Amino acid sequence: MTAIPKVLTIAGSDSGGGAGIQADLKTLTSLNVYGSSVLTSLTSQNTLGVDAIHNVPTDFVQKQLDAVLSDIGTDAIKTGMLASGAIVQAVVDTLKKYNHDKLVVDPVMISTSGSKLLAEDAVQTCIDSLLPITLVLTPNVPEAEVLLGMSSGSIKTLDDMRTAAKKLADLGPRNVLVKGGHLPVERNGEKYVVDVLYEKKTGEYHEIENPYRDTKDTHGTGCTLSAAIAAGLAQGNDVVMAVKKATIYIQDAINASHASIGKGAGPVNHLHNIHLRPYACKSYVQALKESLPDGVWDEFIDHPFVRGMADGTLPRESFIFYIKQDYLYLQHYARSAALAAYKSPDIDMAARNAKIVLHIQHEMQMHLKYCESWGISKEDILATPESVYNVAYTRYVLDKGATGDQLDLQVAMAPCLLGYGEIGVKLYNDPNTKREGNPYWTWIKNYAEDDFQDAVRNGKALLEELAIHHVSTSPSRFKETCEIFEQATRLEIKFWEMGLHRK
């Protein structure tokens, strides 16, 4: 089994969920990276600001670090809010002990809402102890000015950002990303954000440009970007590629930001790149049935034709008409299963569909024996013209198989298999179903027996397997198959109508 990449985030908690540890873990999860965490501080905050901070005791921060790194380990580490000089030093001392070199440092000092998150003494400790072991430093413009001891507003241009990046690299970081969100650049009448990445080893500058979006909903952008960079490093990307991927991720997260959350600076959407399974928390088969309009499935399995078989009152002529048409139907159902075998991508799936053909052949032999007990010969059945309802249903199924993929075909076939299996068990177990003297009791027993129920279970398993490959992350594809299922279910209802009214 391939090991999932791991990232450890060392940061504060944001009770509002938009920044800090919460933002980091959401980001890592959405990028398919396992996230572990060490809490440095608890903040009471929302989109309007921070109203209280409670720092975690330094020795407990160290215990958390040892607990994670001694057991789970990590492929990359990011730091966010470190709160105090003592916590910064404890983090540095512990990381040196475990010798991890992929460290991303987001020098969190001021929140989006303007609250101070780093003590004065901690800034110098960061410069003296943390920056020398840093692989990637990710300050915004105000943070770069603080780290360099510059007055606010000193960095005004792209050239200033380049100069600041190099000066920061001289303090120890091997790579410095100065983020340009505070200094949008206008080009050809459009505003852009330009982030400057400086590689100390090569002396190269990389300018990463993205459209600027004028929005207040940027809470947690720094945390999210640094977490995404750490995720890229953990996945094996080099620094430049990890940074480029992360800037795309954060840009998309901003564009999909949650404007409806809170009254102030809302959070970005960390989960913008996750496509939820359209049938989450349920099986695909259950989701298909639940997608039907209210009452349609019940109309199928509790049709007057079915109830007439249950209590033995169904007119004999209706059942004879139905059983003849059902034999003809099964011939086309077998052709559909054979088509599914042809459309199978490998021999195993082809064999599973071939077994369905053989099961249908067995079912048809039961039909013939059953018909004989009603005085109907095979010749009588084959001489029977197909009802237009039969033609409509069977050709619909075959058409879905011919024009669609295997899932389309299996879904079109599914109401028959699922419905008859459900009807057989339901009537068999219903104490109100007439047994003695009921001419249809043998039919009911046939569909309740293990042989047919095994076929139902196998059919369900095949549908679930196909759904994983074809619809598990596509709402539009799921909707298409639901429409096929509904049409086939309605055609099943019409099949009962055909038998009941003998037309």
* CA 47 to each of CA 9, 111, 266, 320: distance values in angstroms, whole numbers, following the listed order: 22, 10, 6, 71
Beta strand 6-14 pairing with 76-79: parallel
Catalytic residue among 79, 112, 172, 223: 223
* Residue 371 annotated to the active site: no
Strands (E), 220-309: none
* Residue 215 annotated to the active site: no
Q: Which residue's structure tokens are 């359209």?
A: 278
Q: CA-CA distance, 4 to 468, in Å (whole number)?
A: 21
Q: Which two tokens stand for residue 280?
A: 């989450």
* Residue 16 annotated to the active site: no
**Burial class (CB within 10 angstroms; exposed 0-12, middle 13-18, buried 19+) of 384:** middle
Catalytic residue among 222, 421, 424, 499: 222
Catalytic residue among 85, 220, 401, 419: 220
Q: Do residues 196 and 141 make contact, with C-beta atoms less than 8 angstroms apart? A: no
Catalytic residue among 218, 224, 247, 433: 218
Q: Which helix (H) or strand (E) holds 56?
A: none
Q: Which two tokens stand for residue 106?
A: 């987001």
Q: CA-CA distance, 32 to 41, in Å (whole number)?
A: 26
* Residue 426 annotated to the active site: no
How far, in whole angstroms, is CA 22 from its chain's centroid? 19
Q: CA-CA distance, 168 to 107, in Å (whole number)?
A: 12
State the DSSP string of 76-145: EEEE----SHHHHHHHHHHHHHHT---EEE----B-TTS-B-S-HHHHHHIIIIIGGG-SEE--BHHHHH
* Residue 179 annotated to the active site: yes
Catalytic residue among 179, 289, 324, 343: 179
Q: CA-CA distance, 418 to 415, in Å (whole number)?
A: 5
* Residue 43 annotated to the active site: no
Q: CA-CA distance, 327 to 350, in Å (whole number)?
A: 24
Q: Which residue's structure tokens are 């309007």?
A: 48
Q: 376: which strand partners? A: none
Q: Which two tokens stand for residue 16?
A: 């509002």
Q: Which residues are catalytic?
A: 179, 218, 220-223
